[in-house]
Amino acid sequence: MTEQPSNLSAPRKPGRFILWLLVAMLACMAWFFFALLLRSLNPLVPRPHPFQPPEMAAVQYAKTDMVGNLGGIPVTIPQHFANYVEYEGDPGWGEKRKGPMPERTHASRLNSFGFKVRLPDMAGLSSREMWKDRNSYTIYNTPWIRVRLTSGNFYFGDGFLDRQASYLERWKVDGNGLAWERYEPINEPFHGLTVYVPTGTDPKTQRPYREGLHAEDVFLHRTADGKVDAYIRCSNRPHEAAPCTQAFSMEPGMEAAVDVSYRRGLLPQWRQIQTDVSRLIWSFKAAEGSSSTRQ
């Protein structure tokens, strides 16, 4: 008598998997068309990212001016400059708040926040007209830049730019570091900046690492006493929209770090950008004796 094969070894029918796949696809399509509908009804109103946790979505755009302590300085941040405001003790990514929202005062220590601002007038997204202006540009010609501040528990401490710059040539001393992370200065200053470029050749392509898809140049500015006060990384992609990130400190006076993101076509303006962004941040300083609170 021939033994019949067990049903346990029979392949499972893919019906249930296909059904769930179709449900997921329909849900994604429904969300996509709903987002298009919202955008068509009012293209100037910002929409929260659909996949971020509720706690993050709630602080993406402030509903009122925000108060707090930014690196030792009491500040009042205008609503349109208060995006993703995070205080010490706030829940992290994907976490939920435990207990009620605490009252915020000028003593509440800030960890981070950010905003978008337009060059050269340093105007923010304070109105429908400003949103319309921002949306009128392309990534190749936009004068809008993104600013991010970190302080409190997120602050790396004074001198973090010098420590960061020391890694550029560290491989010469200890031989460590991946090949494409090895940088050397070139004798071609750029608008007062010292330029560091990736050194060596990619053995796979036989082309310089500097020409790689993800290659970056690094630009440093040092004060008269040799301290780094601007650290800039820029993509080497050959167009005006290649991204740059400029880091600097608000010290002395405010224990906070600043990252400014902009297109590489604006790099020659790095010094004015740093000056104007610093001046804008200092303008948030609260008036003496102010005791404003926010929930």
Alpha carbons 92 and 53: distance in angstroms, whole number:
10
Cα–Cα distances (Å) from 118 to 57, 77, 97, 125, 141, in that order, read 24, 17, 34, 9, 12
Task: Return the structure tokens found at 255.
Answer: 């224990």
Average pLDDT over residues 231-242: 92
Greater confidence (34 vs 117) lies with 117
C-alpha to C-alpha distances, 171 to 32, 129, 175, 180, nearest whole angstrom: 48, 50, 4, 11
% the chain with pLDDT above 70: 73
CA distance 156 to 195: 24
Whether pLDDT at 54 is above 60 = no
Q: Is 156 helix (H, G, I), strand (E, B) or coil?
A: coil
Q: For residue 99, what pLDDT band results from cuts at 50, 70 and 90?
A: low
- What is the overall mean pLDDT for the chain? 82
Burial 54-77 (b: 16+ CB within 10 A, else e): ebbeebebbeeebbbbbbebbbbb
Residue 242 is assigned to a structural domain of this protein: yes
Domain count, the chain: 1
What single letter denotes the amino acid at residue 202? D
Region 101-109 average pLDDT? 90
pLDDT of residue 44: 44
In a domain, 216, yes or no: yes
Within a domain: 47: no
pTM above threshold 0.85: no
H helix and E strand count, the chain: 6, 16
Identify the pLDDT of residue 45: 45
Query: Is residue 6 pLDDT above 60, yes or no?
Result: no
Q: Would 256 be classed as within a structural domain?
A: yes
Between CA 268 and CA 289 the distance in angstroms is 40
Low-confidence winner among 48-62, 129-143, 155-169, 191-205 (lowest mean pLDDT): 48-62
Structural domain boundaries enclosing 177: 160-282
- The whole-number pLDDT of residue 210 equals 83
**Does residue 248 form part of some domain?**
yes
| pLDDT one-digit tens code per residue, 171-192 | 665 656 666 678 889 988 899 9
Structural domain includes residue 185? yes
> Is position 229 within any domain?
yes
C-alpha triplet 188, 193, 195: angle, nearest 5°:
50
Give the pLDDT confidence of 135-184 residue by residue, as tens digits. 999 999 999 999 999 999 999 898 999 999 988 877 665 656 666 678 88
| Residue at 11 is within a domain | no
